[in-house]
Amino acid sequence: MGKAKSYAERLFDFPEVGPLPEAAAALAITKPAGKEGVKIEQDAVTQVVQETQGYPYFLQEWGKHAWDTAQSSPITRADVMIASASAVAALDESFFRVRFDRLTPAEKKYLRAMAELGPGPHRSGDIAECLNRKVTALGPTRNQLISKGMIWSPNHGDTAFTVPLFDEFMKRIIPDDSWRN
């Protein structure tokens, strides 16, 4: 009885939803295509899984663009490479842009500093140092970004993007050093 969780406790149990394991990500690409009689070369599947980091929505986006790009079956790695440009552009226009447009200027700076450090996770102190600010001064901005679902804290003092590839988007949308001012 002591191990049973109350209803209220289960309401606040947030299981981590992350990337699919490699085999499941590959199956998410090959199975729907196979049902339509289309084959995908193994190196093409590997490329899609690598580009998407196994993130389910990105797998769908890359699969769609690879499907649209390929002239015939099997879909090749070359098809995926060509499709990657249109998949990234589509994500930039919709998926990433919608999130970016909800941000305040201070939040954009914070995320751009994170992007400068790479995909992450990053120590809060490293982000603050990149912005030439104190960690305590950035606490409210960090908390706002967490509440907006843009970042999360995988461990105490660490900060990570909630979706892969957002660091690359931030570098594309703010390519110069204007964020440092």
The SS3 call for residue 151 is strand
**Segment (H or E) for 83:** helix 77-91
Q: Is the pLDDT of residue 1 over 50?
A: no
Domain with CATH 1.10.10.10 in the chain: 102-180
Q: Could you tell me which residues come within 8 angstroms of residue 86 by beta carbon, excluding any fewer than 6 positions away?
A: 65, 68, 69
Residue 75: burial class (beta carbons within 10 Å; 0-12, 13-18, 19+):
buried
Which residue in this structure is represented by tokens 């995926």? Answer: 80
Could you say which architecture CATH assigns to the domain 22-98? Orthogonal Bundle (1.10)
CATH topology of domain 102-180: Arc Repressor Mutant, subunit A (1.10.10)
Q: Read off the pLDDT of each residue in 98-112 and give the average, rounded to a whole number.
A: 96
| pLDDT at residue 21, as a whole number | 94
Which residues lie across from 57 on neighbouring strands? Answer: none
Domain with CATH 1.10.8 in the chain: 22-98
**pLDDT digit string (tens) for 53-64?**
999 999 999 999
**pLDDT digit string (tens) for 22-57?**
999 999 999 999 999 999 999 999 999 999 999 999
Q: Is the pLDDT of residue 12 over 90?
A: no
Q: Is the pLDDT of residue 18 over 90?
A: no
- Give the span between the Cα atoms of 148 and 106, in whole angstroms: 14
| pLDDT at residue 53, as a whole number | 95
Q: Could you tell me which residues come within 8 angstroms of residue 62 by beta carbon, excluding any fewer than 6 positions away?
A: 29, 48, 51, 52, 80, 83, 84, 87
- Give the span between the Cα atoms of 82 and 85, in whole angstroms: 6
